[in-house]
Homo-oligomer: A and B are copies of this chain.
Amino acid sequence: MQESNFIIFSGSASGKLAAHMARLLEQSTGRCTVERFPDGEINVHLDEPVRGRDVYLVQSTCAPVNDHLVELLALADACRRSSALSITAVVPYFGYARSDTRHSQRAPIAASMVASVMQSIGITHIVTVDLHAAQMEGFFHIPVDSLTAVPALVHAVRGHLPEEVAVVSPDEGRFKMASEYARWLDAPVAVIHKSRQSGTTTRVAKLVGDVKDRPCLIIDDMIATGGTIADAVTALLRGGARPQIYVAATHGLFVGEARAKLSHSAIRGIFVTDSITQSHPDWSALNVVHLAPLLAAALRRFRADESLADLYNHCIHNGSE
């Protein structure tokens, strides 16, 4: 790895994660100043040269999403005007990803809009983790390396899980991700399925798959308000599952009353990554899995022009132990 040829900068959303990545790559992050003018406008300055270097900008676009997004754009603009060779946005949590379709007629497609904006500023490569929908890659013309934290989460959760666990997708949309977990854990999958009964307007959650007397691992790509998970817990318990429920999700937003909703006695452990910085020192159920090893491994392959194909191989070995 040619140290002098690349540099990692961090926006204000992802300082710790970027530093961790850099450390694993035996570097330090590039010094840069990200500050606010008194009126709230963002001011950015790179304190190290980027001319002719591959730049990696690490910034999750989590809340406050618009500030983090504009900050990332400003960093990219500074890199472009300063003759960076390439500008890779490492966006572990990609804000607006759930707005991948029009929420209604005459609405924007915010995720596609963000993609346009990023490309217009000269970002040349996107790295992200567990993107909400795979189709989002098609919003970009530039390469998108969409990594998954599932192996890392599996690795973290595995030791805690009782035997006979079932993997549960809390809605149809995560069925594929649940299957992924199940493959690593060699466990069966159940899905919670909400359908409308004839003649009523209420959606009834149906549990598909056998969870009877099993402990469960509910998985999701992100936890926002915790409502989906809470509903799933109710459905599982009603379906006869053992009150030993674990939750794994890549992105922990924990918005509003999320923590309260997730403080159910049946929930024994919650596993999220640090795609969004977590600071809940007193929340014992919460386990935070570091993304830096995954992202650093990806960067190592980028530097060496290698494929990401074997990125999760070491996990497989761990998995098959």
Contact = CB atoms under 8 A, between A and B. Distances in A.
Contact of A138 (B45, B109, B225): B109
Contact of A101 (B107, B111, B138, B196): B138
Copies of this subunit: 6
Nearest to A203: B179
Interface string A97-112: 0111111111111111
A182 B196 CA distance: 9
Interface in A113-144: 113, 115-117, 119-122, 125, 133-139, 141, 143-144
Contacts of A308: 105
A41 B110 contact: yes
Contacts of A96: 41
Contacts of A4: 305
A102 to B, nearest CB: 7
Interface residues of A, number: 101
A228 to B, nearest CB: 12
A301 to B, nearest CB: 8
A179 to B, nearest CB: 6
A66 B66 CA distance: 6
Given A198-B186, A209-B206, A125 B83 contact: yes
Interface in A218-235: 224-225
A89 interface: no
A283 to B, nearest CB: 19
Given A111-B138, A139-B139, 5 more contacts: A46-B106, A47-B106, A49-B305, A112-B139, A193-B208
